[in-house]
Amino acid sequence: MSTDSLPGPKRFPKAALILGWLVLLLGLLHWLFQPMPAWGLAQEPQAAEVAVLMSPTQLAEGGRLFTNTCAGCHLNGGNIVRRDRNLKLKTLQRNGIDGPGAIAQIAAEGIGRMDGYAKVLGPDGPEKVGAWVWQQALENWPRSS
């Protein structure tokens, strides 16, 4: 059989090619210019939102409790045991921890290798620590702990 008898590739009309590229370009532009949450980068809450939940005295108490109980492993929001489990805002959000309540629950009950500290922190301790840690994360851990 000779190659002359085989059918050749079908050619698309020029208008169809242009339309295809245009649709592809528009799809790309739509994807690029979607609002930030579509990229998985939720808008950061403001530190004022935390202040509404706790008084300055309660936040200071949360900082004291954090320093006495948590800073041994989480100095300045880091993690000496597992670096990928730090308390930085980006890491918290990546792990689905979206506010002081979630942090308080972890402080009280523990998670993974971390034990819970409800008894050590006292009756309102986990909530105070959660609010303080969240505020620090929002401010990119400006104060040393």
Predicted TM-score (pTM) above 0.85: no
Which CATH architecture is the domain 47-138 placed in? Orthogonal Bundle (1.10)
Q: Give residue limits of the domains in the chain.
A: 9-39, 47-138
Residues in the chain predicted with pLDDT less than 70, given as ranges, are: 1-12, 34-53, 143-145
pLDDT value of residue 1: 54
Instruction: Report d(CA 102, CA 113) in Å as an integer.
Output: 17
Please list, residue by residue across 106-126, b when 16 or more beta carbons sit within 10 angstroms of its beta carbon and e when fewer do: bbbeeeeebeebbeebeeebb
- Kindly report each contact of residues 91-96 with a partner whose C-beta sits within 8 Å and lies 24 or more positions away, as own/partner: 92/137, 93/42
